A and B are shown apart, each in its own frame.
Chain A
Amino acid sequence: MTAKPHLDRNHARHLLGQMLRIRRFEEKCAELYTQQKIRGFLHLYIGEEANAVGVVGALSADDSIVATYREHGHALARGIPMGPLMAEMYGKSTGTSRGRGGSMHIFDRSTRFYGGNAIVGGGLPLAVGLGLAEKMRKGSGVAACLFGEGAVAEGEFHESLNLAAVWKLPVLFVCENNLYAMGSAVERTESETDIHRKAEAYRIDSHRVDGMDVVAVEATTRKALERIRAGAGPQFLECMTYRFRAHSMFDSQLYRDKSEVERWKERDPIERFGEWAVACGLLHREDIVELENKAAAEVDAAVAFADEGSWEPVTDLCRYTLMDAVPT
């Protein structure tokens, strides 16, 4: 575990608290899925929380985010309130997108969260555009774009990296490499499995980081953001991580060994960080209990909020297909 001087007790509590919120939220989502309150696809992030907390937590308010369908963690880390997020998972009108997006399409204007995108690779060009707008307006914001290693095989990945590099745009590309795209192991689909080397081919500064270590992810992200804000152009992070659950809610996981999953679980980012923080005296056991209780209470309140929410009236079916005005 990378120790950082700025990692004081408060910050350690914050990091652990965020990861716990995400974990408990998603565990509840899985439960609600079996109760059929959440339907459709549900891609859990369990095991990968250190990345969302490390990357998104390092962003500032004027930065923007583009994520994938596996974005609940990023949404929570960004500060999107859990109630509307859960209501969106249900499809309720009290959800972040009035229920029209669901789990794969979380959007939130007030925190500059430009969507969960369910087209693999489809979000990268958007992030390039967000970075372009920021640069043209001479703002200091960075567009952070998170995607899986599966996206790296898409043409949009290559087009976007090249364009961002040619125009020196303030874009942070973050590849969450969990080694699988559905059932396809990265070594079966990529000729070059060191993903960050692809970014180097576009002359983008590129770093690989242990995505099970929240402190390392955060520290690396901060450095990358500093370089972007100093005008160095886009930066690329490859976070080595692992999803503990199925790709979507259920799959038979024929594509990987149980022992492999167990080995990765030994590196659970939450347990690992908690144990380490206690061992070095940053946190007390009671802190962890308290954070657990807070997360549990927040999840309960979010479920209640979602349960209480109403459905969009069917008469509003076609609303927002065309906009009457640009929202401000």
Chain B
Amino acid sequence: MTGAQERQKTTYREAIRQAIREALKRDDRVFLMGEDVGRYGGCYAVTKGLLQEFGEERIRDTPLSESAFVGAGIGAAMAGMRPIVEIMTVNFSLLALDQIVNNAATIPHMSGGQFAVPLVIRMATGAGRQLAAQHSHSLEGWYAHIPGLKVVAPATLADARGMLWSALLDPNPVLIFEHVNLYNMEGELEADAGPVPLAGAVVRRPGRDLSVITYGASLHKSLAAAEQLAATGIEAEVIDLRSLRPLDDEAIIASVARTRRALIVDEGWRSGGISAEICARVAEQAFYDLDAPPARLCGAEVPIPYPKHLEDAAIPQVDTIRAAALELVRPQGRTA
């Protein structure tokens, strides 16, 4: 064999679908359930065609009962199955919060290790489709607060495909957050792309002047901002967290120690958010390496509004990321 793997043009959406399809073929304990995952094909069309391929037993349309079907996923996982539960969006997952936080995250511990909950829950997150305040929030940081859960946010095609694979192999409940703006993202993927570990941040662009620490759809905006910054002579290192729980302290601190400046970019709100946690860890572990206070660019403290210009203004964008980076490296009133 040559090193040249066959590469296929595909999308983020199709990469997830492919991962689900492979899982269903590989392991007969795997099944998918959620609202409109079957006949409708998934509210974001991720699961289109799977019902026809795998049948109603394994592609299960559920009633509008987030708590019951998430809890049923937990029960089935405890009984030895490997369910993939789809929740339409993170806002609706709040109706299943009891099951996720009080059962999935606690039962292994409360049972003294007698029961594991090998469950995968996928859901859409984030703003950018003008869906207003009940369909656009970024609450993944909330879930990252909870011991007993793993929380990942794949931002690339390879991660979308490979992290679902790893999530199904993991003995713990794994929450996968898929940013709504990524589903249509195109790219190439190796035909036999393999699993991607659930933990471990990665440097998506190396740079020496600051570390931009981000995840999900903000990764791509951060990369675009870094490209523009490079034209002005500023080299931003862009870190893709991939996992929000656990956080990869080592990778974050190693990068910040090199660049001596940290900018955290997060669509979620600033107050009490995952960005605050990252900031705190940078301050705790890299304080003496820093040339400037850690900076954050977060979602505005407002329910996400409907009109395009306000929605855009509510979350980090390429130009605001670039401006925040510039301010961190060459503070106004000071020249570099």
Contacts and interface: CB of A to CB of B under 8 A. Distances in A.
- Interaction A to B: yes
Interface of A: 64, 66, 95-101, 105, 107-109, 114-115, 117, 119, 122, 124-134, 136-137, 143, 155-156, 159-160, 162-163, 166-167, 318-327
Given A129-B74, A136-B57, A119 B111 contact: no
A98 B110 CA distance: 9
B123 to A, nearest CB: 17
Contact of B63 (A114, A124, A130, A162): A162
A161 to B, nearest CB: 9
Interface stretch (B2-10, B101-109, B223-231, B309-317): B101-109
A323 B62 CA distance: 29
Nearest to A129: B75
B107 A119 contact: no
A163 B68 contact: yes
B171 A326 contact: yes
Contact of A133 (B60, B75, B116, B148): B75
7 contacts: A66-B75, A96-B114, A132-B72, A132-B81, A160-B68, A323-B113, A325-B171
Given A95-B112, A107-B112, A114-B115, A156 B98 contact: yes
A125 B62 contact: no
Nearest to A169: B72
Contact of B68 (A66, A156, A318): A156
Interface in B37-83: 57, 60, 62-63, 65, 67-81, 83
B102 A129 contact: no
B68 A159 contact: yes
A159 B65 contact: yes
B103 A320 contact: no
Contact of B111 (A115, A128, A130): A115
Given A159-B63, A326-B118, A129 B112 contact: no
Contacts of B79: 64, 129-130, 133-134
A125 B68 contact: yes
B101 to A, nearest CB: 10
B31 interface: yes
B75 A130 contact: yes
Interface residues of B, number: 42
Contacts of B171: 323-326
Nearest to B113: A320
A162 B115 contact: no
Contacts of A97: 110-112, 114
B67 A155 contact: yes
A105 B110 contact: yes
B172 interface: yes
Given A125-B72, A129-B73, A100 B99 contact: no
A96 B107 CA distance: 13
Nearest to A319: B113
B331 interface: no
A129 B115 contact: no
B114 A130 contact: no
Contact of B81 (A133, A162, A319): A133
Nearest to B61: A166
A326 B80 CA distance: 9
Contacts of B68: 124-125, 128, 156, 159-160, 162-163
B119 to A, nearest CB: 9
Given A321-B147, A326-B116, A136 B31 contact: yes
Given A136-B81, A322-B148, A326-B118, A100 B109 contact: yes
A134 B113 CA distance: 22
A109 B74 CA distance: 15
A285 to B, nearest CB: 42
Nearest to A155: B67
A100 B147 CA distance: 15
Contacts of A162: 63, 65, 68
Contacts of A107: 107, 110-112, 114-115
A101 B65 contact: no
A35 to B, nearest CB: 24
Given A100-B110, A129-B77, A319-B109, 12 more contacts: A97-B112, A107-B114, A109-B114, A115-B115, A125-B99, A126-B78, A127-B75, A132-B76, A136-B31, A159-B63, A321-B109, A325-B116
B116 A163 contact: no
Given A125-B75, A130-B76, A156-B68, A101 B108 contact: no
A126 B75 contact: yes
A320 B65 contact: no
A130 B150 CA distance: 23
**Which 7 residue pairs spanning A and B have beta carbons closest together?**
A125-B71, A129-B75, A159-B68, A97-B112, A107-B111, A98-B112, A159-B65
Nearest to B33: A132
Contact of B112 (A99, A133, A166, A325): A99
A114 B72 CA distance: 13
A100 B65 CA distance: 31
A166 B63 contact: yes
Nearest to B58: A136
A123 to B, nearest CB: 8
